[in-house]
Amino acid sequence: MAKEVVKKIKLQIAAGKANPAPPVGTVLGPAGINIQDFCQKFNDATKDKMGDVIPCEISIYDDRSFDFVLKTPPAAFLLKKVAHINKGSKKGANEVVATISKDDLKSIASLKMNDLNANDLEGAMNIIEGTARNMGIAVKGVNDEEMQEQAKEALKEEAEREKREEELEKMEAEAKEAVVSDVPLVEEEKSEE
């Protein structure tokens, strides 16, 4: 008789570092499975991938047993690792924080191919390139010149916006001064008692 899947849980955990503390314990505790058993099995399965963040899909059955499937690390994590950066751009494609080679892009796409909605390697490369672009990572020979130009235009627009804001603040200050100077001062009379 086949077991019935009661719940599916998705987690992203550092390889080899699962422990019963949050977030693992707080997510798996209410599901009623043995958290220590899961942590031990996960750590054994991922000990060769130390340093990577590994997505994991856990299927919990009606008898409180479980199975899990390991996925490939997130594309953003792999891009940051290849580009040797800690985080992507706060401004997206308007700020280039790193540049990677087309070979790096191809290797990430081939690694992520099973998890992506792409029919071929070229389609997977396009998906990873879009993720890189949104993180401010240019791909040499593909979009690096375009992104550099876009970053320059964004800086120019930002400088113009700051200039307009300064002019607006100056006009507001002048308007306040004009209103205050037009209003006559009224002195209060002191009553003598």
Q: How many CB atoms lie within 10 A of CB 12?
A: 13
In one-letter notation, the amino acid at residue 96 is V
- Please, which pLDDT band fits residue 137 given cuts at 50, 70 and 90? confident
| 91, 137 contact by CB (below 8 A) | no
What pLDDT does residue 171 have? Answer: 86
The answer to whether the beta carbons of residues 112 and 93 sit under 8 Å apart is no
Q: How confident is the model over 68-112, as pLDDT tens digits?
A: 888 888 888 888 888 888 888 787 777 778 888 888 888 888 888
Higher pLDDT: 143 or 83? It is 83
Residues 68/46, Cβ–Cβ less than 8 Å:
no
Spell out the domain ranges in the chain. Answer: 5-70, 73-177
pLDDT, averaged across the chain: 82
CATH topology of domain 73-177: Arc Repressor Mutant, subunit A (1.10.10)
Q: 5-70 has which fold?
A: Ribosomal protein L11, N-terminal domain (3.30.1550)
Task: Compute the average pLDDT of residues 31-52.
Answer: 86
Q: Which amino acid is at 45?
A: A
- Give me the pLDDT at residue 66, please: 85
